[in-house]
A and B are shown apart, each in its own frame.
Chain A
Amino acid sequence: MDVRRESEATPTKNRTGVERKSERELVVTRTVNAPARLVFEAWTKAELFRRWWVPKSYGLTLLSCEMDVRVGGQYRLVFRHEDSTMEFFGTYLEVTPHSRLVWTNEEGDNGKTVTTVTFDENAGKTLLVVHDRYPSKEALDSGSTGAMPEALDQLDELLASLGSSSVTK
């Protein structure tokens, strides 16, 4: 099927789309070349999740990753960036195997962000739709809650450099 060597990324890079649906909602889409069953595992098993959630190029170290993936279960991610640590935590609201995950981000000061991820399989590929609903438009604009780390300002430089060096090991 794929004759490339292991060290290489998937041959055809899938595109990541982002749309601001409203002043409180952001939607990210991406197709993954694998059945929903596998993709869902990568989102719900801590040992797999921790390998991709924090891109290596961002200079963050994931110190711990605990995920109790069931309705009412909690998750907690602890990162280190330079000398500081930050925590992200919340509760799973919906867990439908291979098709839907809903959780809250509760670390922000301005209320909860709710993230809904749907896994839609078609011909062996899975369309991922990640929908973030922020508690207010201010929370979204400042990126202080949810999928964006709180220490976003520190990440700015790293992000800027990401574009110029797209191939970091």
Chain B
Amino acid sequence: MAQYSQTHFDASFGALSDATRRGVLEQLGRADASITALAERFHMTLTGMKKHVGVLEQAGLVSTEKVGRVRTCKLGLRGLEEEAAWIERYRQLWAARFDELDIVVEEFKRKEKANGRKKRK
């Protein structure tokens, strides 16, 4: 875990903890958009959307560029690979555990069935 930058990690997860911000990332995954367009799309004020974009930008998930009077947002260069890898590792531990739990439970079920048959006789 030491190889991950803790600060970056916190910023990313903080940024992702909000439904609107996840929606914005999804949206930007499809196409770049101006803050005005995003505000309209998510039914919020320009100020509110600016704040959300700011959080995403700080986490490196989004980058913005101002051309004339329009600020355009696009997905940042920093991807979600580290976070995804971290979660995936955790998932693998549990998946391995549960696969063994399945075996234990199946065996248990068979034993109970066998005992039940014995009792009925």
Contact = CB atoms under 8 A, between A and B. Distances in A.
Contacts, number: 104
B48 to A, nearest CB: 21
Interface stretch (B5-13, B24-32, B61-69): B5-13
Which secondary structure characterizes the binding site on chain A? mixed
A117 to B, nearest CB: 12
Contacts of B94: 16, 18, 28, 30, 130, 147
Interface in B67-121: 87, 89-109, 112
Which secondary structure characterizes the binding site on chain B? helix
Interface residues of B, number: 33
Interface string A46-69: 001001111111100000000000
A148 B93 contact: yes
Interface residues of A, number: 45
Given A16-B91, A152-B1, A153-B2, A52 B17 contact: no
B23 interface: no
